[in-house]
Structures are given as structure tokens and as C-alpha cells.
Chain A
Amino acid sequence: MPDTELREDTDPAASSAPTDAPATSSRKAGVRRRRTGPEGIKGTIAKIVLLGLVDALAVYVLIMLFLSESWLALGVSSLVALVINWIYLRRGGLPAKYLAPGVLFLLVFQVFVVLFSGYIAFTNYGDGHNSTKDDAINAIQLTAQKRVPDSPAYKTSVLAKDNSFYLLFTDPQGKVSLGSTDKPLEEVPGAGKDSTGKAKTLDGYQTLNFQEIVANQHSILDITVPVSADPADGTLRTADGSNAYQFKPALKYDQAADTFTDTTTGAVYRDNGKGAFAADNGETLSTGWKIDVGMENFARAFTDPSLRGPLLGVILWTFTFAIASVALTFALGLFLAITFNREDLKGKKVYRILMILPYAFPAFLTGLVWSGILNPEFGWLNQTLLGGASIGWLTDPVLAKISVLVVNLWLGFPYMFLVCTGALQSLPSELDEAARMDGAGPWRVFRSIKLPLLLVSIAPLLISSFAFNFNNFNVIFMLTGGGPRFADTDRDIGATDILITLVYKVAFGQGTGRDYGLASALAIIIFIIVATVSAISFKQTKALEDVNS
């Protein structure tokens, strides 16, 4: 029914839109003119206030973008702000006024992020490759610091202002200067000195006493004050809050040759073209930068021996999991729907309510609760029901997969039960009667009449259910965390990992470094699979409908 409505609505619109556009716009203008009366001042004021708030926010964002010198973002944001104003200030164009807010969010946080994922998939973005090459060169110089052997001791006081700490240095000549990690050393006049000639106080700053220094030890030890804006000049650091020494980069950057030289060993590190500096023996500096690597992430996924085998296993299991989940939940749901599709069954309502409960239970808690029940060492199933058995429900690769499917069945069958009940009850009962008259048994009626009709209305739901389970992160991650881990790889990949949990672990996992590039490449693979499967199956559904109608 709704489908025909859609067709009726859209076809005339699609065909007539180009031809009578002037007519509609003039009609709208007429509507507007008439409206000035009833809508009156209240609507106009509301419009001005809302648009004013949006513009105020936009101006703030634009100023911040200007200050941070992000020109591209600035350009795009100003364009968006202009478009928003144009949409709401012009006459007519009513649909845009209703669609704009939702579409804006959709474009930024759904469409743009997908395209951005596509871009990241072709870079080496990740731990150690976070920023530009210039940033990497600066960072290498700042992190690889060594104390200058004959550095004089700078007497140091710790000052605080606005919750951040500063170091006040008195050099051996008595010159006083102030600095912090993001504020290079700067000479300051008018510091108050104590009897030893050490500068202790400065107007506008609070001096920390010994207890306060101890209490904030970590943040104070982390302070590295650049001597000048050029990182090659080195930094000042303190180890105890009272004396500071000069540190210089252990790696010297040669701008002309674009190389780093180790000041002690003399090893030369060159740009290896893969976003890092590498020595001749292949050793690379830990801080690199982001570069485009083309298809390398995809190639790595299917050629790297520590990744290829597990990844194929994961893809296979993802399909198995999604298909089996749909099949099991649908089978149980349909079976229950048929079982309880009897008007005169006592207690039907109670069964129904109790069986829906798992569906109402938050999904992220399901995995966690079941992980307690199935826990091999302490869980209820092994300890109480099986009297102290030690069956690895979550640690054996095969059993873990079965457990995941059972838990997902628990979570999913009520939905299928409800949906199938609805679909069964909407089937006309004459069909049933007619078939019985013709001598068909119950099984025959079900197989040849009810099931095909049922599938027409349920098939789209099965497809959405498949797409949902294909990315059913919560159940897997909360129940097994993807484990038990594969033995043949050092990566954190396990027997119950599906693609989306793998993406999450590669990008944000504990222990192993974050690899955004590879994670995005895997996400793109999921995109392609889901798109293909959905396209094919929706086509099949259409075919199913045609056959039956």
C-alpha cells in the first residue's frame, strides 16, 4: 500500500518538476504574500533569533579557524554559513528550509566521514605517522634530547599561572628568563631574587613551595623549555625543580640534505619515502609523518603473512556469523510464531511478554552478562550447572563461535518472533481454508502457501537483519572481545572477531600501535561488501514480489 502511494506521489512530481517550475514558484510567492498576515511578527522574530544564534556560532567558529590558520576549513565553513543564510533569508525554496538542518549533519557526519575514511585508507596515518613532515622533524629534535655534557646549572624556580606551570631560570651570569614547554625561553625583567641570587618571584605568577612541587612532580618533570624557536638549539629541563640543565638534540637535522645525523654514532637517517627517516641498516626513527601510500594498506591486508591468514578467517566468520544469526533467529522466531498462533492457547500473553524481555534488554549488557555465565573458570554454566566442569565456552575457538551465536540468538529471536507473528496474522485466513478444502495438509499449507507469502513481507527485514549482524559489534566485543586469539599471528585478532571489531582493534586497540590507515582500509572493505550484498538481495526481493503478485 505505501509503495503505491510513493509511486503515485513521485512520478508526477518527477515528470512535472522541470516543466512547471515557474508555476510552482509563483504559487509559492502567492502563498507567502498571503501569509504575512497570520504568521505575523512572532514567526519573523523566531526566525531572526534562531538565525542570529546560528550566525553568532558561525562567526565564532570562523574566528577560531582564522586564528588557527586552517584556511581550507575556514573557506568551507564560510561557504556553509553563507548557504544557510541564503536558504533562510530568501523568499521561496521552502523544502530547503525544512531539509537544511538534517542534511547539514548528514553531510558532515555521515557522508563526509565516509569519504574521509576513503582518504585515510590510502595513507599511513597512525601512531608515529600523525602529522606533517615538518612537525615530525621538530618532534624528533625535541624528543631525542641528550644532556649537554658541560652544561652549566641553571638555578630554577617553579611558577604557576592559570593552572599551568612555568620555569624561572637564573643562569650563571645572573640573567633571569622564563619559559615553558610551549613558550620558548624569554628574558624577564623585575624578578625578585633571594640571598643566593636565585630568582624566585615574578609579578603575576605564583611561586610553588617544595610540597607543591612534589605534588605536581610529573607535570613539572615533563616541562621542556625550548631555548629558542629553533628546536636545534636544544631545551632546558629540570629533574628536581631547583636546578636545570641544557639538553640538545642527539640527532642533528641537516636541512640541505634532509637527513638526521646521530651526534654520537654518526649514523645518517634519510627520508625513506615511506613517511619515516631510516638509516642505511634499515632502522627507522620512531616518529614519522603522514604520506599517501596508495593501495599499500589493501595490499598489506592480503599479503602480510601476519595479517592475511587471520583476515581471511575473519571475513569468512563475519559472513558465517551474519548468515547464521539471521537463519537461527528467523527459524526460532518463525517456529514460535507458528506455535503460539492459536487463539485458544492458555497463557499466550505471558509467554509473549517473557519472551520479548531479551529484546528489551540493552544489547551491550547482554554480552557482558553472558560472559559471566559462560566464563570457563568461574561461570555459572560450568560451576553450577555442569558441576565444576572446565569447558572453554569462550576460550575454545569452535565453542566460542557457538557461544556467540547462541547469545546472539537470545538477543535476536524475540524480534523475529514479533515480526513473524505480525506477518502470519496479516495473512488472509481464506487462503488457509481454501487449501485445506483442496486437501492440503498443515505442512503442505505452510510450505507452499504461508511461507512464500510470509517471505515477501519478511525478506527486506531479513536483509536489514543481515546488514545489522554483519556489523554487530556489541555482542562480539562484549562477550569474547574477539578472542580466543589466533596462534599464528602476533596481532590481536581472534577466532570470533568480525570485521568491525577488527577495525576497532586495529584503530584503537590496547597494546599494539594505532593504525588508522589499515583500519580505514578494512572499513572500506566492509562498505563494499555491505553495498554489494544489499544491492543483490534487494533486487532478489523485487523479483520475489513480482513472482508472487
Chain B
Amino acid sequence: MNGSAPHTTAPATPAGTGTGTGPAGPTDVDYLKSLQRRRPFGVWFKDKGWRHLVGIIVTVFAVFPLLYVLSAALNSTGTLVGSNALFSKIDFGNFTALFDMPSRPFARWFLNTMVVGGVTSAATVFLGAMAAYAFSRMRFTGRRFGLLSLLLLQMFPQLLAVVAIFLLLSGISEVIPALGLGSQLGLIMVYLGGALGVNTYLMYGFFNTVPQSLDEAAKIDGASHTQIFFGIILRLVTPILAVVGLLSFIAISGEFVIASVVLTDPDSQTLAVGLYSFVAQQRSENWGVFAAGAVISAIPVMALFLFLQRYIVSGLTAGSVKG
């Protein structure tokens, strides 16, 4: 991988330059390598060139829709047709329009999503960690049964029971309106129903990698189970806590089905529900403003994701392979 860092800024050049004269590296090794690469185009292409070709095609496929939505957001013409000429016009008209719609309070949606997603993922991490601690460190009747039921339950996503959830919440709202339909607290409670399913298994595996001798040492020193849990275990498993928290935040902030059924009042809706209503009826008129909203809602999630991608990927594979 030597010398890869300097080239990262110019991904498109290698395929274009054909025979790949390569960078005039300052070291002898690079020079020798570049000599070695002086060979017919056909050979180079068969060995590496096609890889760049594939890379470029797939990159265009991957990146184009994102550029498209960015261009539409920056083009205040605002209609679907007007957005077709990419980057023909750049201004921030859509963004100001976005925050200036009383019937579609985008700022509220953003805040609501952060609140619902933040509270749910924090609580999910906490509930999941407690359960994983119990499963990993304690031996009790029904432990194996519990683990297996969690494995089983995680196969059935909550959205399958959306009708029952709706009816349950409408029943609750007759008794306690603050927890029923239309309340974010009610929605968070519903989401917490899925807190154990997927995550406990992921955390359980990670908890098992923390040596038990640590707890035992602490126990001998007189630490209580809560002190061991909060003081030792939780500190050692921070990476998995971050992964679970992030994954559940991403999942919750993009959840549409249950949120659309529970949150009916525009002021309490999340981004997924709100932005859908933007384009559900008049897709082409609101396009520019929608694109601006999409860019703003996507940026935090994407930034977080790319920042932590290494952890996420390892978490994803580790957890699922175990299942």
C-alpha cells in the first residue's frame, strides 16, 4: 500500500493514462515499479486496468443519485424538470424556503427525529447492555431458552404487527393520552419493544470476550454487581455500545411504517414521515425543497456512518455470523 495516500485525490487518472507511467516516486522502489509497469496496454489492462474500469462504472452508479439530489437542492427552480440540468444554477433558495413553511415544519421534524432517535438508541443500548450482562455473566434457569427466544424473535420485525401496534396505542390513548397515538413517548415505547431482539445477541458476543477474571478480581475487592457492571464491563465494551447505538439510531431515524401510523400531527412527525408527505402528492412541484430537506437529513447520518464505518462493518459481520 505504499504511496497510496498521495494518490487518493485523483481516482480517475489511472485508467485514462493508459500504460500507467505511474507517479514519479521519489524512492528507488517506486522507480523500479514504474519500470516494471512499462508493458503493453493489453497486459496492463488484463491485470489491473479492467479493475479501474469496473471501479469507475460502479462509482458513477453509486455516486450519481447523490450528486443529483445535491444539485436539485442547490437549484431554486424547484421543479422536477428544472432539476434535470445538473448544477446549472447554484443558490440556497430551497434551503430558505424549507425553513419557511408553517404547514410543514422541517426544523421540528429534524428535532423530533433527533429526540426520538436519540432517546430510543440510548435506551436501547442500556436495556440491551443490561440483558447482555445477565446472559454473559450469570447462570440461571431459562438462560438458554432466553437466548434462543431472542434469536427467534429478531426474525420478525415489529412492522409486521403495525396494525396491532396501532390498535394497542389507540386503546392506550383512551386511558392515558400522553402515551397513546400521536405521542412521541408512545412511539419510543413501541421502538423499545425491539430493543432486546437484535442487539442483545450482538452485545452478548462482545461481553463474552471480556475476561471473567476481571469481574472476579473486582468481586474479591468487594465490588457490587452494579459497580462491576457500570465501572468495569460498560467501560470495556464501549465500542460495541457505540455500534449498537449508532445502528439503532440509523434504523429508527429512517423508520417510516410505525412512525407514520402513530404520529399524525405534523408538529410531532419525524423526518421520514414529514419528507414523504412533501412529495407524496405533488412530487414535481416540491422537488427542490424536498431535495434540500433530503440533503440536510442525510448529512448527519452519512457523516456519522463514514466516521465510524470500520466499527459498524465489524459489528455487522460479527453479530450476524454468530446468529
Kindly provide the distance from the CB of A34 to the nearest chain B CB, expressed in whole angstroms: 7
| B275, A368: Cβ atoms closer than 8 Å | yes
CA distance A365 to B168 in the complex (A): 29
A3 CB to closest chain B CB (Å) equals 7
Chain B residues contacting A109 (CB-CB under 8 Å) are 158, 165, 189-190, 192-194
User: Is B97 close to A, CB under 8 A?
Assistant: no
CB distance from A40 to the nearest CB of B (A): 9
Do the beta carbons of B84 and A384 come within 8 Å of each other?
Answer: yes
Q: Which residue of A lies closest to B1 (CB)?
A: A343
Stretch from B100-108, B234-242, B315-323 contacting the other chain:
B315-323
- Establish whether residues B176 and A380, one from each chain, have CB atoms under 8 Å apart when the complex forms: no
The residue on B at minimum CB distance from A353 is B306
Does the CB pair B143–A13 fall under 8 Å? yes
Q: Per-residue 0/1 for A319-347: is the Cβ within 8 Å of any B Cβ (1 yes, 0 no)?
A: 00000000000001001100110111111
Using A17-B139, A347-B52, A364-B275 as known contacts, say yes or no to A99 and B146 having CB atoms under 8 A apart: yes
The yes or no answer to A527 lying at the interface (CB within 8 A) is yes
Q: Does A39 contact B (CB under 8 A)?
A: yes
Cross-interface CB contact of A113 among B133, B161, B223, B226, cutoff 8 Å: B161
Interface residues of A in 405-456 (CB under 8 A from B): 410, 414-415, 418-419, 422-423
Closest chain B residue to A359, Cβ basis: B305
Using Cβ atoms and an 8 Å threshold, which residues of chain A touch B266? none
Counting contact residues on chain B (CB < 8 A from A), the size range is 35 or more
Within 8 Å CB of A204, what residues of B?
none
CB within 8 Å for A114 and B62 given contacts A38-B224, A368-B276: no
User: Is A229 at the interface (CB under 8 A from chain B)?
Assistant: no
Residues of B contacting A547 with CB < 8 Å?
none
Task: Known contacts A10-B144, A31-B219; decide if A106 and B195 are in contact (CB<8 Å).
Answer: yes
Q: A37-B222, A106-B197, A346-B7 are in contact. Are A504 and B162 (CB under 8 A)?
A: yes
Residues B279 and A519 in contact, CB atoms below 8 Å apart: no
State the Cβ distance, A505 to closest chain B Cβ, in Å: 11
User: Is residue A86 contacting chain B, with contact meaning CB distance below 8 A?
Assistant: no
> A residues within 8 A CB of B276?
364, 368, 478
Which of B84, B134, B166, B320 lies in contact with A380, CB distance below 8 A?
A: B84
Which A residues touch B130, using CB under 8 A? 98-99, 101-102
Q: Is B245 an interface residue (CB 8 A)?
A: no
With a cutoff of 8 Å between Cβ atoms, the chain B residues found around residue A460 in the complex are 320-321, 323
Cβ–Cβ contact B189 & A340, under 8 A: no
| CB pair A351 B63 closer than 8 Å | no
Contact between chains at A339 and B302 (CB < 8 Å): no
Residues of A within 8 A of B317 (CB): 419, 422-423, 457, 461
A464 interfacial contact with B, CB 8 Å: yes
Proximity string of chain A (355-391) to chain B, C-beta cutoff 8 Å, 1 when within and 0 when not:
1111111111110111111010111100110000000
Q: Say whether, besides A102-B196, A113-B165, A504-B162, A345 and B51 are in contact (CB < 8 Å).
A: yes
Residues of chain B within 8 A of A285, CB atoms compared: none
Instruction: Return A131 CB to nearest CB of chain B, in Å.
Output: 11
Question: Nearest-CB distance from B304 to chain A (Å)?
Answer: 8
Residues of B within 8 A of A530 (CB): 155-156
Contact A95 B138 (CB under 8 A): yes
**Is B297 an interface position by the 8 A CB rule?**
yes
In the complex, A109 Cα to B154 Cα: how many Å? 13
B284 & A378 in contact (Cβ 8 Å cutoff): yes
A117-B164 contact given A95-B138, A347-B7, A360-B306, CB 8 Å threshold:
yes
CA distance A114 to B194 in the complex (A): 12
Contacts of B314 in A (CB 8 A): 422
Residues facing A in B158-190 (CB within 8 A) are: 158-168, 171, 174-176, 189-190
Q: Is B298 an interface residue (CB 8 A)?
A: yes
Give Cα A507 to B254, complex, Å.
21
Bound Cα distance A339, B175 (Å): 60
With both chains docked as a complex, state the minimum distance between the C-beta of B79 and any C-beta of chain A, in angstroms: 7
A521–B22 CA distance with the chains assembled, in angstroms: 63
Given A109-B193, A368-B276: A10 and B143 interface contact (C-beta under 8 Å): yes
Q: Is A120 an interface residue (CB 8 A)?
A: yes
**Contact yes or no, A464 B197, CB < 8 A:** no
Minimal Cβ-Cβ distance residue in B for A109: B193
- Minimal beta-carbon separation of B256 from chain A (angstroms): 5
| Known contacts A353-B306, A473-B256, A507 near B162 by CB under 8 Å | yes
Query: Which one, A65, A116, A380, A457, contacts B83 given CB within 8 A?
Result: A380
- From known contacts A61-B176, A125-B167, infer whether A351 and B11 are also in contact, taking CB-CB under 8 Å: yes
Q: Does A477 contact B (CB under 8 A)?
A: yes
Please provide the chain B residues from 28 to 85 with a CB less than 8 Å away from any CB of chain A in the complex: 48, 50-52, 54-55, 58-59, 61-63, 65-66, 68-69, 72, 79-81, 83-85
Chain B minimum-CB-distance residue to A121: B163
Contacts of B229 in A (CB 8 A): 98
* Contact call A17/B141, Cβ cutoff below 8 A: yes
Give the CA-CA distance A117 to B159 in the complex, in Å: 11
Residues of A within 8 Å of B165, CB to CB, are 109, 113
Binary B-proximity of A30-56 (CB < 8 A = 1, otherwise 0):
010011011100010000000000000
For the complex, give the distance between the alpha carbons of A452 and B131 in Å. 35
Pairwise interchain contact A418-B313, C-beta atoms closer than 8 A: yes
Q: Does B272 contact A (CB under 8 A)?
A: yes
Q: How far is the CB of B253 from chain A (nearest CB, A)?
A: 7
In the complex, the answer to whether A368 meets B321 with C-beta atoms within 8 Å is no
Tell me if B157 counts as interface (CB < 8 A to partner A). Answer: yes
Decide if A98 touches B134 in the complex (CB within 8 Å).
Answer: yes
- How far apart sit A350 and B4, CA to CA, in the bound complex (Å)? 10
Q: With contacts A98-B229, A530-B155 known, what are 20 further pairs, Cβ within 8 A?
A: A13-B139, A14-B143, A95-B134, A106-B194, A110-B197, A113-B158, A120-B163, A120-B164, A354-B62, A362-B298, A375-B284, A464-B320, A464-B323, A467-B155, A500-B257, A516-B163, A523-B161, A527-B160, A531-B155, A534-B155
Q: List 13 A-B contacts (CB under 8 A).
A: A10-B147, A102-B128, A105-B196, A111-B153, A349-B4, A368-B290, A368-B294, A373-B65, A378-B80, A380-B86, A383-B84, A384-B86, A419-B313
Interface set of B (CB-CB < 8 Å, partner A): 1, 4, 7-8, 10-11, 14, 48, 50-52, 54-55, 58-59, 61-63, 65-66, 68-69, 72, 79-81, 83-86, 127-128, 130-131, 133-134, 138-141, 143-144, 146-147, 153, 155-168, 171, 174-176, 189-190, 192-197, 200, 205, 208, 219, 222-227, 229, 250, 253-254, 256-257, 260-261, 272, 275-276, 279, 283-284, 287, 290-291, 294, 297-298, 301-302, 305-306, 309, 313-314, 316-318, 320-323
